[in-house]
A and B are shown apart, each in its own frame.
Chain A
């Protein structure tokens, strides 16, 4: 069985599970599945900037937070159909992502990681201290999202929209990865100079990769507002960035299926171990070190094949 048909099987099974779930399980399980879908979108977004474009960014949670607050505030102020609030969050995140992408033009690797990390932490500080807008350390209550009068008041009602949103973002990621734009991004990842020599506008590629990645995070934030009614800046710190980074890296840097599998696996682990903080940290630390020692390329290591393929000229 080749990878393509395996993917179709995996997607098929996932679809069936998601279809049956709402009729069989309790609200809490649906909440967890909703949350996993948000993580899938977050991981896909980080995949775009790290996996495809090769830019080591640690600011993902900042854009996620912008998505949550924007969607929540737009919804409270005007009660538009929730699609509008989600897109507003995505757009604002994308805009800021484009600006933060400027950092990638000046630095790379660990320096880029540190600069984006600093930006992420500074944004968390803004969420914590901009009392008038975000409610500061009291957190912010959000009203139920609605679509033409139909209110989403619980996890079950939000479920189809959250899953649909995640599926749409997955489709977009695959399309992006297969497009000429995706190839250009990977060229930038492999070598700035070689990409430049091929006529690729490296600066624009890096900045748009940041913007797209941020848009994904913003939309993930919007989806989150569909099934939750409260947000606190505490949950928008470096921890969350590490969680999403782990999903992408352990799943397999550069692999879309890796990002999805990693998001589901680590989303579940972090939710299951939430009650036992110290055990969670020990297990989590051991998993991170173990994977980096024995399987540093992640579960779905990928793309390495590409070069030999290009050299050999076989396969399509």
Chain B
């Protein structure tokens, strides 16, 4: 491999990595917001994302709706799924003194349920993707080439991240969510309705997942097993710091770029194992991640 080849691969890897990374970052944000406000590691993140893709596919292929209807519909349905799950399932599980293991298993229950329901529709029997809204043309940046769709994915993702940033810092509801994440008791004392905020956070996480699905499904073929993509989001969240939103974004881009570079320079086979190694190494070497701040020490 000559130097110019390496340079070309680097550019292509980084740019493609930024595109896929932006989707991982969105999913990582969904994981981290839920974890911060409800202490639930959401093991059904991948399935919520997958279900979002299939809701859109169903709207377009089965009910023949237009994109203008399908997009808001998908976002609303998945936000609803998140809200209902928190309101009727998780509230009860935490209420009956559920701890780590119980919380994880309840979310795994949702994961199975969604996967089974999607399989029932029959749409998942063959790999499918959504029709793309933008043309096929290529965009050349430096020596690397991206599709127009790639650019749209990246731009929309970053715009959503900025919106979320504004929401968490400017709006009352966003500040309330952050307050619940920092100290639920304190938040309650100043008049925040914990249960309502947690339902909203799950709804928000469902909405972000659906958005990620809408963005990436025109680019890739999906099956009900696409949920494993969430492992990359988990890796992103952990590398960035499991309780840090900027960390989730940074982690998403890092995982996206590393994934692409590993694919270009090492082998496509090694891509599969890379996120697990990233999780293991991060947790061993720096458990709080890159932006996670000092590890919290719990008193007995």
Chain A residues in contact with chain B, CB under 8 A?
50, 56, 103, 106-107, 109-111, 113-115, 117-119, 121-122, 125, 129, 191, 193-194, 242, 245-246, 249, 253, 277-294, 296
Contact A292 B112 (CB under 8 A): no
B283 at the interface (CB under 8 A from A): yes
Within 8 A of A (CB), among B231-272: 231, 234, 238, 242, 269, 272
B69 at the interface (CB under 8 A from A): no
Q: Mark B73-109, 1 if CB is under 8 A from A, else 0.
A: 0000000000000000100110011101111111011
Q: In the complex where A249-B102, A296-B102 touch, is A279 in contact with B116 (Cβ < 8 A)?
A: yes
Task: Report A-chain residues with C-beta under 8 Å of the C-beta of B117.
Answer: 278, 282
Contact B283 A115 (CB under 8 A): yes
Q: In the complex where A281-B116, A288-B112 touch, is A119 in contact with B280 (Cβ < 8 A)?
A: yes
Considering the chains assembled together, what is the distance between the CA atoms of A119 and B284 in angstroms? Answer: 12
Considering the chains assembled together, what is the distance between the CA atoms of A207 and B179 in angstroms? Answer: 38
Considering the chains assembled together, what is the distance between the CA atoms of A121 and B276 in angstroms? Answer: 7
Task: Report B-chain residues with C-beta under 8 Å of the C-beta of A118.
Answer: 275-277, 279-280, 283
Task: Report B-chain residues with C-beta under 8 Å of the C-beta of A249.
Answer: 101-102, 105
Closest to A288 in B: B109
Total count of chain B residues near the partner, CB < 8 A: 42
Closest to B112 in A: A285
Tell me how far the C-beta of B296 lies from the nearest C-beta in chain A, rounded to whole angstroms: 12
B120 at the interface (CB under 8 A from A): yes
Considering the chains assembled together, what is the distance between the CA atoms of A103 and B287 in angstroms? Answer: 11
Task: Report B-chain residues with C-beta under 8 Å of the C-beta of A294.
Answer: 92, 96
Interface centre among A109, A111, A285, A287 (most CB of B within 10 A): A285
Q: In the complex where A56-B100, A106-B287 touch, is A293 in contact with B112 (Cβ < 8 A)?
A: no
Considering the chains assembled together, what is the distance between the CA atoms of A167 and B101 in angstroms? Answer: 28
Interface centre among B101, B234, B238, B300 (most CB of A within 10 A): B101
Between-chain CB contacts (< 8 Å), 15 pairs: A103-B284, A106-B283, A107-B287, A111-B287, A114-B238, A115-B280, A115-B284, A122-B276, A246-B105, A249-B101, A277-B119, A282-B116, A289-B106, A292-B89, A296-B102
Task: Report B-chain residues with C-beta under 8 Å of the C-beta of A242.
Answer: 108
Contact A125 B273 (CB under 8 A): yes
Considering the chains assembled together, what is the distance between the CA atoms of A103 and B119 in angstroms? Answer: 37
3 pairs of A and B residues whose beta carbons are closest in the complex? A281-B116, A288-B109, A285-B113
Contact A129 B283 (CB under 8 A): no
Contact A296 B279 (CB under 8 A): no
Chain B residues in contact with chain A, CB under 8 A?
41, 89, 92-93, 96-98, 100-106, 108-117, 119-120, 231, 234, 238, 242, 269, 272-273, 275-277, 279-280, 283-284, 287, 300
Q: In the complex where A110-B41, A122-B276, A125-B273 touch, is A289 in contact with B113 (Cβ < 8 A)?
A: yes
Contact A193 B276 (CB under 8 A): no
Tell me how far the C-beta of B118 lies from the nearest C-beta in chain A, rounded to whole angstroms: 8
Contact B119 A50 (CB under 8 A): no
Closest to B115 in A: A281
Tell me how far the C-beta of A51 lies from the nearest C-beta in chain B, rounded to whole angstroms: 10
Q: In the complex where A122-B277, A281-B115, A282-B120 touch, is A288 in contact with B100 (Cβ < 8 A)?
A: no
Tell me how far the C-beta of B167 lies from the nearest C-beta in chain A, rounded to whole angstroms: 26
Closest to A129 in B: B269
Contact A292 B93 (CB under 8 A): yes
Contact B234 A114 (CB under 8 A): yes
Task: Report B-chain residues with C-beta under 8 Å of the C-beta of A56.
Answer: 100-101
Considering the chains assembled together, what is the distance between the CA atoms of A58 and B124 in angstroms? Answer: 28
Tell me how far the C-beta of A135 lies from the nearest C-beta in chain B, rounded to whole angstroms: 16
Considering the chains assembled together, what is the distance between the CA atoms of A285 and B120 in angstroms? Answer: 14
Task: Report B-chain residues with C-beta under 8 Å of the C-beta of A278.
Answer: 115-117, 119-120
Interface centre among A118, A282, A288 (most CB of B within 10 A): A118
Contact B102 A292 (CB under 8 A): yes
Tell me how far the C-beta of B288 lies from the nearest C-beta in chain A, rounded to whole angstroms: 10
Considering the chains assembled together, what is the distance between the CA atoms of A296 and B287 in angstroms? Answer: 29
